[in-house]
C-alpha cells in the first residue's frame, strides 16, 4: 500500500469469463491487462482411473510400473502425516530439492501458516520425500503443490512416481474427479513434464488478467511485460 502498487489478479480456465472480466472492468474505468497465467497438467480421473492408468497409460518404455514396484518392494512406504516433527523432515527435503533444481524456496513460516489455516480435509502431506496437496471438494479437485524429494535415495527409485501414484489413488478413492499436477513446463525435453504427462495428463489453458489499483502499477507492469 505504501508504494500504491496494489492490484487484483483474476485467473480462469474459461475464455468467456476472461472476456466478461475485461469488458466489465473497462466499464468501471479499470482496464484489465493481460496476465500470462500458467498452463497446468490436469489428470481427468473419469477419463483415466487408476486401473486404466496402470494397465494402459503406463508403458514398459517409460518404466512407471517398474519404479513404483521397486519403491514398494524395497520396503519404502508413503505415510500421511501432520506432525510438527514430520513437517521438519518435509521442509528439509523440500529445501534440498529446491536448491538442487535452483528454484526459489518459500520460508518455513509459509508451511506453518498452511497447517494452521487448513484442516486435514483441506491439506494433505505425505512423506517419502514428501508431497503437499490441497483438497477442494466443491470442484472435486486435488491440487499438488509442494514436492520434497529425498535426494539421498538412489536415483533408481524415482520417488516422484510413487508420490504421484499415491496421490492419484487417494484422489480416486475419495471421490475426486481431477488431479492438478501444478504449473509445469510444456517442453517435452524437461523431465518434470515427462513424468507428469506419463500419468495421462492433459494441459489446461488458463486466462489471466491484472487490474492495477493505481496508474503507477499499470505503468510499471506494462513496462515489465513490454521488456519481456
Q: Could you read off the pLDDT of 102-153 as tens digits, one per residue?
A: 888 999 999 999 999 999 999 999 998 899 999 999 999 999 999 998 888 8
Q: What is the pLDDT of residue 142?
A: 97
pTM of the shown model: 0.84
pLDDT band at 26 (very low <50, low <70, confident <90, very high): low
**What are the residues whose beta carbons fall under 8 Å from the beta carbon of 220, sequence distance 6 or more?**
5
What are the distances in angstroms from CA 162 to CA 70, 166, 214? 10, 6, 47
User: What does the pLDDT look like over 56-108, one tens digit per residue?
Assistant: 999 888 899 999 999 999 999 999 999 999 999 999 999 988 988 888 899 99
Q: To the nearest whole number, what is the mean pLDDT of the chain?
A: 89
pLDDT band at 28 (very low <50, low <70, confident <90, very high): low
Question: What DSSP element (H or E) covers 209?
Answer: strand 207-212
Instruction: Give the mean pLDDT of 173-197.
Output: 90
On whether the CB atoms of residues 148 and 97 are closer than 8 A, the answer is yes
Phi/psi for 122 (5° steps) reads -120, -25
3-class DSSP assignment, residue 76: coil
Burial 205-225 (b: 16+ CB within 10 A, else e): ebbbbbbbeeeebbeebeeee
Highest-confidence segment of 5-14, 52-61, 201-210: 52-61
Amino acid at each position: 500500500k505504501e508504494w500504491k502498487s496494489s492490484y487484483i489478479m483474476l485467473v480462469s480456465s474459461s475464455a468467456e469469463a476472461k472476456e466478461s472480466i475485461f469488458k466489465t472492468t473497462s466499464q468501471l474505468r479499470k482496464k484489465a491487462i493481460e496476465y500470462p497465467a500458467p498452463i497446468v497438467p490436469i489428470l481427468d480421473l473419469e477419463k483415466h482411473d487408476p486401473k486404466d492408468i496402470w494397465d494402459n497409460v503406463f508403458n514398459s518404455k517409460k518404466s512407471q510400473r517398474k519404479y513404483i514396484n521397486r519403491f514398494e518392494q524395497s520396503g519404502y512406504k508413503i505415510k500421511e502425516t501432520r506432525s510438527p516433527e514430520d513437517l521438519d523432515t518435509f521442509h528439509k527435503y523440500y529445501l534440498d530439492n529446491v536448491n538442487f533444481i535452483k528454484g526459489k524456496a518459500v520460508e518455513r513460516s509459509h508451511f506453518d501458516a498452511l497447517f494452521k489455516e487448513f484442516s486435514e480435509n483441506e491439506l494433505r502431506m505425505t512423506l517419502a520425500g514428501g508431497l503437499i496437496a490441497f483438497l477442494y471438494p466443491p470442484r472435486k479437485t486435488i491440487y499438488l503443490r509442494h514436492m520434497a524429494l529425498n535426494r539421498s535415495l538412489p536415483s533408481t527409485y524415482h520417488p516422484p512416481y510413487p508420490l504421484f501414484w499415491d496421490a492419484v489413488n487417494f484422489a480416486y478413492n475419495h471421490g475426486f474427479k481431477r488431479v492438478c499436477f501444478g504449473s509445469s513446463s510444456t517442453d517435452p525435453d524437461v523431465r518434470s513434464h515427462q513424468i507428469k504427462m506419463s500419468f495421462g495428463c492433459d494441459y489446461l489453458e488458463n486466462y489471466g488478467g491484472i487490474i492495477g489499483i493505481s496508474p503507477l502499477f499499470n505503468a510499471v507492469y506494462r513496462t515489465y511485460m513490454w521488456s519481456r
